Amino acid sequence: MQVFRVYYHKIKGYKAVPMGFSLSAFITSFIWAASNSLWGKAFLLFFGFIVMGAAAAGGVVLKFPLLSLSAIAGVAVLPLWAGMQGQQWVCDRLENQGYALTKRITAGSASKAIAAAKRDEERHKPAATQKDTAPRPAATFGKDFRDIRDNAAPNSNQPPPREFNAKPWKRR
């Protein structure tokens, strides 16, 4: 079972993104980023591999073993960075495209996570009411009953709300 973040867009529908380490991003780094339309990250990874490869080759040619070792370490760190942050990059891209996070769900696959999010959303929809019945009026209190409404009675153990202190009650 894996944890998924389920996103919803009014037009495009649902998307599920697995959380945690991305093995495919670790193995194929900039190719994975490009296939997920993460063009900036794909360019950074590709450029990083080119620079680190050139530094490693330059260290060998110029006989600077420390330069070669640090470049090889850089080549090892780039895929780790992609694997650790890859799914978060996808989540950020979805949020920039207008998707809203609806749920975090533990499921066996992305399709099961989306189905569970849809079921949960339908369960929490308000029940349909009959059109011919009038809605019940909400309970209202006069301005003299602010201690009941705000739980700020003199002997109450509730602290007064921030709005109560910020905007004192005025009689009109």
**DSSP H or E run through 86:** helix 65-96
111 backbone φψ class: left, alpha, beta (φ>0; ψ -120 to 50): alpha
Q: Where are the domains positioned within the chain? A: 2-123
What is the structure's pLDDT at 144? 47
Helix (H) or strand (E) holding 54: helix 39-61
Q: What is the mean pLDDT of residues 83-98?
A: 94
CA distance 17 to 2: 10
The pLDDT value recorded for residue 36 is: 93
Residue 133 has pLDDT above 70, yes or no: no
Q: How many residues does the chain have?
A: 172
Q: How confident is the model at residue 67 (pLDDT cuts 50, 70, 90)?
A: very high
